[in-house]
């Protein structure tokens, strides 16, 4: 557990109401479609959802609703008419983070086949450094078939996808029953994961797992929040599942012990 005296708030987001009901465009950009336009069919993971802005609502908190499409969907996915719609937002080009304590209060979706994710990608992915060399920090990744499991992972060149360096923590309750706080304490050459203020895993650059491998995590990263449906990570979707919600109460980024930076594009 971290001392609150060591933390200074640098940036926060409570998703206050906006005229169009969408997340504040000063900070957020929605991703749309099935990834094909980016050369990532099914977002590179055989996912079944088609991202839309209608799936996003900012109203004193963010709700991302995944909904099964009925009849002939107006959205054409890589496999045909989309089976699901859902939402995804990111801060790329608008807000970047480097080090510090990043905390997200979230209530996870319920249902087999749901795949909520709170994660970061290296800023340099937009500057010619492709994934996974840019680095990926999975602050939280969830599998609807394992509703009490919290997973945190690092991906980079030499350890990406199913070979990401990862760890798990089991909650005493279903993560869809209430809001919980998911966080990382991110320092130079180390990242530590927290659940409701309690540390459950820490990776450092000098660990044997990273010997002789890249560590791209000492640079600026941007934040991504999404709810995927199906795909390699979670498997088949419950055929009875009709909808699910990922809810975000707040995001807070702190300088901790004098360490932590936020870079806003407008600054």
Domain containing residue 145: 4-15+88-264
* Mean pLDDT across 70-93: 97
Which tokens hold the place of 164?
A: 């990401």
* Mean pLDDT across 22-34: 98
Residue 62 covered by a domain: no
Residue 154 covered by a domain: yes
pLDDT tens sequence across 196-233: 999 999 999 999 999 999 999 999 999 999 999 999 99
pLDDT over 80 at 1, yes or no: no
Which tokens hold the place of 9?
A: 């708030």
Task: Tell me the pLDDT band of 128, cut-offs 50, 70 and 90.
Answer: confident
Residue 70 covered by a domain: no
pLDDT tens sequence across 43-81: 999 999 999 999 999 999 999 999 999 999 999 999 999
In this prediction the pTM is 0.97
Residue 112 covered by a domain: yes
Residue 40 covered by a domain: no
Parallel, antiparallel, or unpaired for β 80-81 and 76-77?
Answer: antiparallel
Query: Which of 53, 50, 120 lies closest to 85 in space, CA to CA?
Result: 50
* Mean pLDDT across 78-88: 98
pLDDT at 187: 98
Residue 144 covered by a domain: yes
- Integer angstrom CA distances of residue 68 from 31, 77, 146, 162, 165: 19, 13, 21, 27, 33
* Mean pLDDT across 239-265: 97
Query: Contacts by 60-63 with C-beta closer than 8 Å and gap 24+?
Result: 60/14, 60/15, 60/16, 60/17, 61/14, 61/15, 61/247, 61/248, 61/249, 61/250, 62/15, 62/23, 62/89, 62/225, 62/247, 62/248, 63/245, 63/246, 63/247, 63/248
Task: Tell me the pLDDT band of 82, cut-offs 50, 70 and 90.
Answer: very high
Task: Tell me the pLDDT band of 5, cut-offs 50, 70 and 90.
Answer: low
Residue 8 covered by a domain: yes
Arithmetic mean of pLDDT over the chain: 96
pLDDT tens sequence across 144-159: 999 999 999 999 999 9
Residue 172 covered by a domain: yes
Total number of domains constituting the chain: 1
* Mean pLDDT across 247-267: 93
pLDDT at 266: 66
CATH number at residue 117: 2.60.120.200
Give CA–CA dist 17/63, Å, rounded. 12
Q: Is the N-terminal amide bond of 120 cis, ω within 30° of 0?
A: no
HEC letters along the chain: CCCHHHEEEEEEECCCCCCCCCCCCCCCEECCECCHHHCCHHHHCCCCEEECHHHEEECCCEEEEEEECCCCCCCEECCEECCEEECEEECCCCEEEECEEEEEEEECCCCCCEEEEEEEEEHHHHHCCCCCCCCEEEEEECCCCCCCEEEEEEEECCECHHHCEEEEEECCCCCCCCCEEEEEEEECCEEEEEECCEEEEEEECCCHHHCCCCCCCCCCEEEEEEEEECCCCCCCCCCCCCEEEEEEEEEEEEEECCECEEEECCC
């Amino acid at each position: 557990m971290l001392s609150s005296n060591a933390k200074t708030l640098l940036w926060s987001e409570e998703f206050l109401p906006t005229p169009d009901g969408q997340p504040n465009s000063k900070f957020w950009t929605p991703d749309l479609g099935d990834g094909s336009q980016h050369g990532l069919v099914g977002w590179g993971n055989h996912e079944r959802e088609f991202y839309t802005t209608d799936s996003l609502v900012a109203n004193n908190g963010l709700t991302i609703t995944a909904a099964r499409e009925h009849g002939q969907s107006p959205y054409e996915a890589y496999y045909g008419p989309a089976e699901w719609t859902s939402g995804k937002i990111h801060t790329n080009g608008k807000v970047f983070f480097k080090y510090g304590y990043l905390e997200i209060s979230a209530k996870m979706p319920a249902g087999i086949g749901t795949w909520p994710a709170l994660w970061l990608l290296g800023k340099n992915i937009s500057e010619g450094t492709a994934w996974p060399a840019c680095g990926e920090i999975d602050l939280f990744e969830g599998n609807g078939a394992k509703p009490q499991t919290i997973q945190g992972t690092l991906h980079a060149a030499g350890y990406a996808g199913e070979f990401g360096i990862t760890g798990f923590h089991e909650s005493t309750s279903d993560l869809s029953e209430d809001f919980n706080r998911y966080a990382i304490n991110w320092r130079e050459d180390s990242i530590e994961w927290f659940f409701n203020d309690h540390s459950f895993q820490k990776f450092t650059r000098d660990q044997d797992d990273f010997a002789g491998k890249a560590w791209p995590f000492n640079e600026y990263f941007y934040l991504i929040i999404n709810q995927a449906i199906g795909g390699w990570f979670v498997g088949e979707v419950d055929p009875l599942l009709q909808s699910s919600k990922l809810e975000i109460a707040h995001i807070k980024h702190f300088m901790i012990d004098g360490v932590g930076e936020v870079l806003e594009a407008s600054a």
